[in-house]
A and B are shown apart, each in its own frame.
Chain A
């Protein structure tokens, strides 16, 4: 009891929260006792507190591996805004000289966010191994599992990294991990005695609705109708950047009283921040986005999440709709489902990993390099890339496997005919089985979209048995009356038109000068 009270005091002191949310206290006390923990907590449940608070209480450095640079940046900013200053992020956006500076000062920090790629750098790893690492956190831990919806080869190397850091306690966190993925995470980390803290992921304030459509025109009509009634801050998810941009423009024209913007991975950093923060600040009502949006977004009152395209996996869907209604108030998740849409995720799956032809070509080219005794420098790699026009992700994937099988050793290519043939066959087989697996996942998503059964029950059944009864309407298959919903609508945000001098005056000299 005493310890519990103590933890709540610390929580209040550092984060100004009065009480822990579901699971946080249990995970934090495990971690403080030096146990390794696998924590599965639903999106928006405050996973980050599970390591942010311990990082302050433990002696030494807490390292957080996160694949999402924007999330990293957001969290560091938020912590700094809360006066938690001994926190820093290292990722590919940090320049080399800044990195050097941080590395020299590393012992001054309590919390380090780092991307998995950077963690592969020998110099950095060496520096980290000299420090006391009190806790090693793996955020989005499902990325470690080849069966997770977001597998990242770099994550597979984390086991080795942990070994280099003298086996600190590990906290693996995820919002979406099926029992199979959970087992895979524990196996990859080789920590069979990890404490499992798994919490149900169903959200009783979400209403699931699926609307069948036969054309994009119909989708647009429905969007206009729903957004016209205005259900409060809304996100519309797209599988394609261009369509997100186009729809943002069309909706701006059709619904002039709403502020609509778009957001995707191609938007430049400052604009990403401005759009996110406008949304947080209620300057924007609707964002048309890709899955790049939402990680780390802590907006409490998102009332409506529309999927313009069907996602490729239940996990991805659960994560995206999980951004609705964090304040616990009723919110709607609407999928606009056209049977013709399945082609998009299918082609994404097909193009995600290299085909056998691409692998063969790259291997051949590498063989030529090894015969000519040419080293793999930045330039030669760049040339290879130019030649094949292979995506960064594909190349990273191949490189990881080539290195793992000793075909690339540092900068050297090591050719051995039979071994290479075996690796090639192994890779092709592996990719085929993975594509097959992903296609099955997509089929599962489609089955859900076409099912007549309760959507809530079907959505969560893979992860847990049973769910909380919904506080508002359940789902379109159980029958919902969206008319009733309108009572919840928020007024659209207002834009004031002042001339630039007035705006500048308000910015620099404050609100009382506005009217002058």
Chain B
């Protein structure tokens, strides 16, 4: 139900202006500039990266099932790629199930990276402490990731002296956080934990036990983790046992890799052409980077790239065509306006709409 709800909502928001695969890239958190921008433009930020590791085949099967159920309809987007449209039946279904799907748990854009790290640390920490508390130092860790193992080992050394009191704090904090969820959700959350002489349930086992789809169990857990993260980060001092598990994880959304390098040069005041020369990259690549930078940099100087007159013209075209399609907008402005300028204005338009909201 959750998975269906998210797919239908995502499809509804992108209004068949993007391909079906773009929904897949959204859910798996592809860090391509297109996906990142689309998430904002179509207000799908909440779902960004909430189903990492989703296999394409499973996604395709699910979409096909929704088409067969009459909730979605197959179409094509402007470049001729397969797209889907949310049909009235789909919207009716959504309206009927709205209250039972915890959409508000998800804050993918804020937590898509942190959620996994935090959850893995928490699972391994609980397993470790549960064992050491019983003086058992030989167990098979459920998380096999060197970085997570290192973190927990290090953390354990820090709290070893006060293990007992830390455990009591951790228990209180988790109880307090989980009590805010419906009983069954808290139950699912706890059943997944491993500890002393006990190994937690797999997603499939939980699915059978609680009579839900395995995908829904996974999404529910991701959503709950997002909620936990939000509460822990907002009132750090209230969660002195849990906050250290996220304290070292900086702002999730940051410019890394190649766009990050471009950003460094951009901040030094270099023009796109200069950056292109220095980095030996095509100018269009630099434009791609700038469009991404525009999304994150609150002080991005839009007026350096788009004149006041062009700004007006593009924004008007967006409004009139009621479309976010680059091609459609391009056809409705004077020919000297470039795709890059339109992309920047889409970001600008989005920022305008979002105002000062936390995703902005």
Contacts and interface: CB of A to CB of B under 8 A. Distances in A.
Interface in B239-293: none
Contacts of A505: 171
B144 A273 contact: yes
A261 B133 CA distance: 29
Given A249-B208, A503-B190, A510-B133, A81 B200 contact: no
Contacts of B138: 81-83
Contacts of A13: none
Contacts of A74: 140
Interface in A264-284: 267-271, 273-275, 277-278, 281, 283
A66 to B, nearest CB: 15
B174 interface: yes
B204 interface: yes
A281 B198 contact: yes
Interface residues of B, number: 43
B178 A500 contact: yes
A277 B171 CA distance: 24
Contacts of A268: 53, 203
B52 to A, nearest CB: 11
Contacts of B142: 270, 273-274, 277
A499 interface: yes
B193 interface: yes
Contact of B189 (A267, A271, A277, A500): A500
A507 B204 contact: no
Interface stretch (B80-88, B123-131, B304-312, B331-339): B123-131
A77 B143 CA distance: 11
B140 A77 contact: yes
B189 to A, nearest CB: 7
Contact of B198 (A93, A245, A283): A283
A508 interface: yes
A81 B144 contact: no
B356 interface: no
B139 interface: yes
Interface of A: 73-74, 77-78, 81-83, 93-94, 98, 245, 248-249, 252, 261-262, 267-271, 273-275, 277-278, 281, 283, 499-501, 503-511
A508 B203 contact: no
A511 B140 CA distance: 20
B9 to A, nearest CB: 25
B171 A78 contact: no
Nearest to B139: A81
B216 to A, nearest CB: 15
B140 to A, nearest CB: 5
Interface of B: 53, 123, 126, 129-130, 133-134, 138-144, 146-147, 167-168, 170-171, 174-175, 178, 183, 186-187, 189-191, 193-205, 208
Nearest to B149: A80
A507 B139 contact: no
A130 to B, nearest CB: 23
B53 A94 contact: no
Contacts of B174: 504, 508
B305 to A, nearest CB: 30
Chain A CB within 10 Å, residue with most, of B138, B144, B147, B201: B144
A509 B175 contact: no
B201 A509 contact: no
5 closest cross-chain pairs (CB), A and B: A271-B202, A507-B195, A81-B138, A500-B190, A277-B199
Contact of A270 (B123, B167, B183): B123
Contacts of B141: 77, 273
B87 to A, nearest CB: 30
A281 B197 contact: yes
Contacts of A509: 133, 167-168, 171
Contact of A507 (B126, B140, B201, B202): B126
Contact of A274 (B129, B133, B194): B194
Given A270-B123, A277-B199, A503-B191, A508 B204 contact: no
Given A93-B144, A508-B168, 11 more contacts: A81-B138, A98-B147, A248-B204, A261-B202, A270-B123, A274-B202, A277-B140, A499-B183, A500-B186, A507-B195, A508-B167
Contacts of B186: 500
B187 A499 contact: yes
B187 A274 contact: no
Chain A CB within 10 Å, residue with most, of B123, B195, B205: B205
B208 A277 contact: no
B204 A274 contact: no
Contacts of A249: 208
A262 to B, nearest CB: 7
A138 B172 CA distance: 50
A508 B178 contact: no
Nearest to B134: A510
B205 A261 contact: yes
